[in-house]
Amino acid sequence: MIDNLIDGQRVASTSDKSQPIFNPATGEIIDQLGLSTQAEVAAAVESAAQAFPAWAATPPLKRAAVMFRFNELLIKHADDIAREISREHGKTHDDALGEVQRGREVVEFVCGIPQMLKGEYSRNVGPQIDSFSDRQALGVCVGITPFNFPAMVPLWMYPVAIACGNTFVLKPSERDPSSVMMIAELLYEAGLPSGVLNVVHGDKVAVDALLDHPKVQAVSFVGSTPIAEYVFNRGSQAGKRVQALGGAKNHMVIMPDADLDQAVDALMGAGFGSAGERCMAISVAVPVGEETAERLVNALRPRVEALKVGPADHPDSEMGPVITAAAKEKISGLIDSGVDAGAELVVDGRNMSLQGYENGYFLGGSLFDKVTTDMDIYTQEIFGPVLAVVRAPDYDTAVKMINDHEYGNGTAIFTRDGDAARSFADSIQVGMVGINVPIPVPVAYHSFGGWKRSLFGGHSIYGPEGVNFYTRLKTVTSRWPTGIKEGAVFDFPT
């Protein structure tokens, strides 16, 4: 049974509710997870609340020193963490290593937190009156994270919050929690005081308990749009600061002048890496012009057919299984709906079976052509290894298609034309844009976040936006007695 982590110690849940953890490659149950009670969630919040005053008063340089040591431990144990991710999630080992790396980069970023928390100072804003401002910690913060990046997404949250002086309660996905526990214990090994980071496992009961708890000041969430909207509304109504990152339907526009080999390579990695279970996966290819579309589909077909699907520990695997049997069934159902709606299924990945892994949750890559914008395979986030080609007669139609979609997480354009690239970057209504870059996830010292129904709350995650989210601005105006006697002033101060 996987324990909670409260006040720096592993604590077994006393809940009578639990759920199994599966190995997606085999379908076997490999562990059990207790689903925490409201009382256990409250204990984690209380631990964080008790730890907050001392941690907030700890000099930023000392908080940064813990992050420096944490970063070194993440480097040392990266292979072990990646193996845990692969075992419970199914993604290939190299893909899992990349996840750890991108999460660790945020830890490197917050090693510079003393610089980022420096305030501003103005002398003599009035007669012998000085003014200064700084950013101060909020208190207890909460993170609710998804299955698809069990290590990276939590590392986008709590290192920033903790470096800023907050304490934290993490509620990770129930699907793949072991890497989360391993990383949290490394942070304590790095010197984190007890109670500053707590981990509670659970389902909606735990989520609601965190959203409603009066001592929680801020909530970060990454997941599907319906749940992001729910978290944002419930947390906001409870008076909390909320950033909730939701779903995506990421398009890649391929212009007639694009380097087609480069574009196909990009679509293969961005569409089928991690079995498409990425919020920044490219799931829609938009070739501009019929000739471009024909060349693209003809080039993609053999590549998708040759995709090497297998277990995470096989050295030749390019794509592993999806996370659960239910996910496999949902993805297969959406492929069925695309066929029924009249899209052309160029490559069908529904009937894949691997010898020795017949009970695993494997799908091959699927490629659709001649998809239209009213089909479910276009409107819905499939979150699986399915790439849809939607043909656009011209550039303006491609742009309008993307801007009309309810999601605005990520997008890309492949072109040699600087005018087209600049116009696309300026006019597209999407939060993260790639130009000849298929997955434009910002580096750690920028910030990650979409537009429209891909982000609720206005604050992007990590980077400068993350620091602003986990702190609040305080401005002090001061004057010390100088012997000046002005008497009472009733006009507005100037």
Catalytic residues: 279
Spatial CA neighbour of 276 closest among 306, 244, 321: 321
Q: Which amino acid does the sequence have at 252?
A: M
Task: Say if strands 18-23 and 28-34 run parallel, antiparallel, or are unpaired.
Answer: antiparallel
Spatial CA neighbour of 245 closest among 280, 276, 210: 280
Q: Which residues contact 215 (CB under 8 A, 6 or more apart)?
A: 45, 46, 48, 49, 139, 140
- In a 10 Å sphere around its CB, with 0-12 CB exposed, 13-18 middle and 19+ buried, how is residue 158 labelled? buried
CA-to-CA separations, 447 to 20, 338, 475, in angstroms, rounded: 35, 35, 25
CA distance linking residue 215 with residue 321, whole number of Å: 40
Long-range contacts of range 339-346, CB-CB < 8 Å, 24 or more positions apart?
341/372, 341/374, 341/375, 341/376, 341/377, 342/370, 342/372, 342/375, 343/368, 343/369, 343/370, 343/371, 343/372, 343/375, 343/377, 343/388, 344/368, 344/369, 344/370, 346/297, 346/300, 346/301, 346/304
Per DSSP, the three-state class of 477 is: strand
Determine contact, residues 193/38, Cβ cutoff 8 Å: no
User: 38 φ, ψ to 5°?
Assistant: -60, -35
The helix-helix angle for 152-163 and 60-76 (nearest 10°) equals: 160
Handedness of CA 198, 17, 234, 450 (dihedral sign): positive
Per DSSP, the three-state class of 312 is: coil
- The token duo for 231 is 């978290």
Strand partners, 345: 368
Determine contact, residues 246/453, Cβ cutoff 8 Å: yes
